[in-house]
Amino acid sequence: MSFIHKTVLLTEAIDGLGIQPDGIYVDGTFGRGGHSRLLLSKLGEHGRLIAFDKDPHAIAEAATINDPRFQIVHEGFAGLARALDALDVGQIDGLLLDLGVSSPQLDDGSRGFSFRFDAPLDMRMDTTRGMTAADWINSAEEKDIAEVIRDYGEERFAKQVAATIVAGRADQPIATTRQLATLVAKAVRTREPGQDPATRTFQAIRIFINRELEELALILPQALARLKPGGRLSIIAFHSLEDRIVKRFMQDSSKAHMPNRLPLRASEMPVPPLEIVGKPIRASAEEVRDNPRARSAILRVAQRTEAAL
C-alpha cells in the first residue's frame, strides 16, 4: 500500500536555506523526499545534496531519485559528522531538518506508531535495528516508564499510566497498539478536547525508543561546526520539546559571550557563531486546512557567521 505524505512548510524551509546553486546541502530527514526534490531543483550542475534517514521505506523512496548530485545515507542525522567524513565532505552550505514522524509512518498501521490501528507495538523508525516499543514496555521498571511518559509526553497522569501498564502486562504481555491504548485509557481520567487519552503516552514512547531528543541535541553542535560562513540551519519542529531544544541552541549560539569585567568598545565585542534569521514561521491557514498535521509546525532559521568556534 502506498501512503501519501504532504511536506510541511515546503517552500518556506527551502527558502530559509538561501540556496547557493553550487553549494553542498544536507537534508537530515529525507522522509518521502519533498524537501529534497525541491532543493535539488534549485541546485546547479555542481551542487550536491546528501540526505539522511533511518527508515528503510524512506531509503527505498530515495532510490527513485536518479540524480548524480544526490546521495542517501541510511543513518540517523546524529551521525552527520562521521558520515560527512566518510564522504570526504568538510563544510556544508546548509542543513534542513523536518523533525517528527512522517504521515506514511503514522498511516501505516503495521509500523505501530498510532493507536488508530491494531498492530504490533513497534514504533521504531529504523525497523532493521534496535528495541521495539513492546520489548521496552514489557521489561522496563515502573518508575522508568513513568519518567518517560512524564518527560517526553508531558502527561499529567504518567504515574497512573505506568502503574496500569505494569499491572496489565502481569496478566499478559503487551504486544499491540490496541492493548496499550486500552490500558492508557483506563488511567487517564480527563481528556483534552479532540485528543485521544493515549496521544501523549504514544508520543513519549516513540520519542524514547527512537532517541529523538538526544539525537537532535547531538546534531545541532555538529551542524554548527560544519557550516560555512553564510551557511544556514532550517529546522521544522512539531512539538514543544524539540522546538525548545532548537530555540535554545539558536539563541545561545547567537549571543556573544562577554569576557568578565572587561570594558569593550562596540567594535571589540565578540561575534557569536550564529545569527537568527527572521522570526519563527508557522504554516498558513490555507496549508493547515489542506494538511491538519501542519498545525503545530514551527520553522526556525539561523545563519553561520564568520566567528570562530
Closest CA to 273 of 235, 234, 229, 216: 229
Report the percent of the chain where pLDDT is more than 70. Answer: 90
| Parent domain of 247 | 10-103+212-304
**Residue 166 maps to a domain:** yes
Are residues 132 and 88 part of one domain? no
Question: Which residues sit in the known binding site?
Answer: 33-35, 53, 77, 98, 105
Q: Mean pLDDT for the chain?
A: 90
Are residues 220 and 189 part of one domain? no
Are residues 230 and 83 part of one domain? yes
CATH number at 96 reads 3.40.50.150
Question: Which residues sit in the known binding site for S-adenosyl-L-methionine?
Answer: 33-35, 53, 77, 98, 105
- Taking the C-alpha atoms of residue 39 and residue 289, their distance in angstroms, rounded to an integer, is 25
Are residues 141 and 165 part of one domain? yes
What is the reported pLDDT for 25?
98
- Taking the C-alpha atoms of residue 267 and residue 87, their distance in angstroms, rounded to an integer, is 39
C-alpha cell at 86: 566518510
CATH number at 170 reads 1.10.150.170
Are residues 162 and 228 part of one domain? no
Are residues 95 and 159 part of one domain? no
| Mean pLDDT, range 242-258, rounded to an integer | 90
**Residue 118 maps to a domain:** no
Are residues 268 and 236 part of one domain? yes
**Residue 176 maps to a domain:** yes
Number of structural domains the chain divides into:
2
Crossing angle (nearest 10°) for helices 212-226 and 240-253: 30
**Residue 184 maps to a domain:** yes
Are residues 217 and 82 part of one domain? yes
The strand pair at 227-237 and 274-276 is best described as: unpaired
Q: Kindly report, residue by residue over 43-65, the tens digit of the pLDDT.
A: 999 999 999 999 998 999 999 99
Helical (H) or strand (E) element with 229: strand 227-237
CA 258 from chain center: how many Å? 32
Q: 48: which DSSP letter? A: E
C-alpha cell at 175: 504486544
| 3-class DSSP assignment, residue 14 | helix
Are residues 220 and 200 part of one domain? no
- In which band, very low, low, confident or very high, does the pLDDT at 5 lie, cut at 50, 70 and 90? low
- Taking the C-alpha atoms of residue 243 and residue 40, their distance in angstroms, rounded to an integer, is 26
| Mean pLDDT, range 116-131, rounded to an integer | 88
